[in-house]
Amino acid sequence: MSTTTAAPFQVTPPSTRLLSIDLLRGLTVAFMILVNNNGNNDLAYRTLNHSPWNGFTPTDLVFPTFLFIMGISMVLSFSAHRARGTSKAAMLPGILRRFVLLFFWGLVVNGFPYFHLGTLRIYGVLQRFAVCYLLCALLQFATGRVAPRVILFVAALAGYWALLRFVPIPGHGVPGRDIPFMDHDLNLVAWIDRHLLPGRLFEGTRDPEGLLSDLPAFATTLLGLLAGTWITQPRPAARKVIGLLVAGVLLVAAGLLWSQTFPINKRLWTSSYVLFAGGLSLLLLAAFYFVVEIRQSRGRWSYPLLVFGTNAITAYVFSELLSTVVSVFKVNATQSFQVHAYNTWFIHLVNPAFGSFLYSFLFVVVCFIPTWLLYRNRIFIKL
C-alpha cells in the first residue's frame, strides 16, 4: 500500500468507513459525471438536465446528496480520530488544508485551461464543498451534541427564507410586494453576487453557487451530520433503517408542503429544496444501509460504485478537466471534439436524446478508467 505523498494531493489508505456510504458516494459521483456531460444539453432527456428555475429533476438531487454524504463522512472521520486519541489541535491543520485544497481545485476547474484571472469564476461546486466542510468541521470542534445541530439546521432554513422574502432589493423593493418573489435576477442572492463579484458569475447576472445560498447548503451538510450521528450510535441496525425511512418521508413531505409558498429551486438552493432533497437522500441512505450493512449484499454490482466512491473528488475533478478539454479542442474551424463526436457518432443512434445519453455514459466509462487504476493500486487521494 502506498504511503507516499505528492503535493497537492496526499496519497493515503481510506479511513475507517461504512461500505454503504462509499457505494452511495460512488453512485452519486457517477451520476454527477453523467448529467454534467450530456452529448447535447438541448437534445438530452429532461431528467438529465437541471430544472430551468422552479421545480426539480433527478439531476437537481445530485449535488445535495454529495453534500449530505460529506456530512456523514465527517462524523465517521472525526469518530476515527477520537478513537485514536487525536487532539483537536492536531486535527485543525488537516481541516484547514482540506478547505484550501478543495477551494483551490475548484478554481483550477473554473479556470482551466486558459486561466483568465480577470474574469475567473470564484464560486463553484468544490468551493461550496470547501465552505460547508469548514463550517461543519468547526461545529464538530465546538460540540458533539445533537441539539445545536438541529437548532442551526432550522435557523438556517428559516433565516434564508426570511432573507429572500422580506429583505428589500435596493432600487427595486420588497419581493412579493414590489417585485415578483424569487425572480430570476431580482433576488437577494443574485444582487449580492453581482455587487460582490461582478463579471465573475456563472450566468452573468447570477451564480447557482452564490455566497448567500451557502447558508442552506450548510443546512444540507448539517443533515448529513445528523444522519451520520444516528447511524453510528449503538442501536439495532433495523431501528437505524426505520429511523432513516421515517425522517426521509417526513422531510420529503415537509419540502413539498413548503414548496407551495417557497418553491423548490436548486439554483437558489431554497429551504424547501433542502428538505425535499435531504429527505430523498435519507431514503437512499436507508436503502443502501439495509442492502449493504444488514443484508450484506456486496456482489459485482457494487464494485464500480466502490471504485468511484473511494476516490470521488478525484474522479469529479478529472471529469471536469476532461470535459473542458473535449469542449475546447477543435476538430475543425467550427466544431469542438465534443460537438463533432456527438454529431458524427451519436445523434442518429435511436434518437438524439438516446445518443446524448450514450455519449454521457461512455464519458463516465472513460472517467472510470483512471479512477480504477488508482483503486487497483490502493491509492486513495484525499484532498
Task: For 44-85, write each residue's pLDDT tens digit.
Answer: 999 999 999 999 999 999 999 999 999 999 999 988 888 888
In 3D space, the residue among 101, 83, 76 whose CA is nearest the CA of residue 381 turns out to be 101
Render each residue's pLDDT in the chain as its tens digit; 383 residues.
333 333 333 343 444 569 999 999 999 999 999 999 999 999 999 999 999 999 999 999 999 999 999 999 999 998 888 888 888 888 999 999 999 999 999 999 999 999 999 999 999 999 999 999 999 999 988 888 999 999 999 999 999 999 999 999 999 999 999 999 999 999 999 999 999 999 999 999 999 999 999 999 999 999 999 999 999 999 999 999 999 999 999 999 999 999 999 999 999 999 999 999 999 999 999 999 999 999 999 889 999 999 999 999 999 999 999 999 999 999 888 899 999 999 999 999 999 999 999 999 999 999 999 999 999 999 999 87
The answer to whether 167 touches 188, Cβ cutoff 8 Å, is: yes
The answer to whether 319 touches 36, Cβ cutoff 8 Å, is: yes
Give how far the C-alpha of residue 142 lies from the chain's centroid of Cα atoms, to the nearest Å: 25
d(CA 38, CA 57): 15
- State pTM to two decimals: 0.93
Scanning 202-311, the segments in alpha helix (DSSP H) are: 214-232, 237-258, 271-288, 302-309
Longest alpha-carbon distance in the chain: 63
Identify the bridge partners of residue 11 per DSSP, sorted by sequence position.
381
State the DSSP H helix or E strand holding residue 131, giving kind and residue range, or none if neither: helix 125-142
241 phi and psi angles, rounded to 5 deg? -65, -45
The domain segmentation of the chain, as residue ranges, is 16-49+300-382, 56-297
- Strands across the sheet containing 9-12: 5-6, 9-12, 380-382
Identify the bridge partners of residue 330 per DSSP, sorted by sequence position.
336
d(CA 119, CA 121): 6
d(CA 9, CA 27): 23
d(CA 153, CA 150): 5
The answer to whether 186 touches 180, Cβ cutoff 8 Å, is: yes
What secondary structure letter does DSSP report for 262?
Answer: S
State the DSSP H helix or E strand holding residue 321, giving kind and residue range, or none if neither: helix 312-328
The answer to whether 92 touches 68, Cβ cutoff 8 Å, is: no
In 3D space, the residue among 371, 317, 324 whose CA is nearest the CA of residue 106 turns out to be 317
The answer to whether 245 touches 164, Cβ cutoff 8 Å, is: no
